[in-house]
Amino acid sequence: MPGREARFGEKPIDQLHVLAGMLIDVLPLDLPFAFFGHSLGAMVSFELARQLHERELAVPQHLFVSACSAPHLCHRGTSRAHLSDAELLRLLEGFGGTPKEVLGHPEYLEMVLSILRADFNLIDEYLVPDDCDARFPITAYAGTRDVHVNPIKILAWDRWATHDFVCHQFDGDHFYLTEHREALINDMFGRWRKSDVSKAADACA
């Protein structure tokens, strides 16, 4: 994504609908696919799937969303992008996803803050269009000790799901998937195969 890794010299994208539109332009749609998104990635996955549906293009067979509130509950009155540098860094450390060693290097600090502001704005200013009628098979994942995402707001993904909505918990915090990577992947592929078989059966009925 712009602002990261080999594209660190580019301005980060801070509007979710713009980012999803860019991804659609490069997304291969010739084979069956599913999306997995963790935290902000869950919102990117949803908006990408929503735009594919709106454009009447191929849509994911399954959405796997992790550690993120449902799309209609993410919008904030004031984006966290407007927090001070110190407040942003404290917030980031609270999530536990960025090593303190990285934050201790002044040459990285400006880049980190720029990306962080854009990322928070992506989710904090996102609004699902009022006329959105997209629904997908959705499985939501959560860490049992994640203090950053209210379980009720994760269960609210059911609003955008077809009849086969499931919420599955793993022991851990916001980054539970670091410890449970293999189990998470196995669970996703198992559920994806199951939903694919169900669709095939419905098509033959």
Active site residues: 39
What does the block give as tokens for 69? Answer: 């509130």
Contact 163, 150 (CB under 8 A): no
From residue 114, alpha-carbon distances to 51, 81, 83, 117, 136 in Å are 26, 9, 12, 5, 33
| Residue 194, CB-side half-sphere exposure with 13 Å CA sphere | 12
Compute CA 44 distance to the chain's CA centroid, rounded to the nearest angstrom.
5
In sign, the C-alpha dihedral spanning 195, 201, 204, 205 is negative
Whole-angstrom distance, CA of residue 53 vs CA of residue 171 = 34
DSSP 176: G
Write b or e for each residue in 111-139: b if 16 or more Cβ atoms lie within 10 A of its Cβ, otherwise e: ebbebbbbbbbbbbbbebeeeeebbbbbb
Contact 170, 144 (CB under 8 A): yes
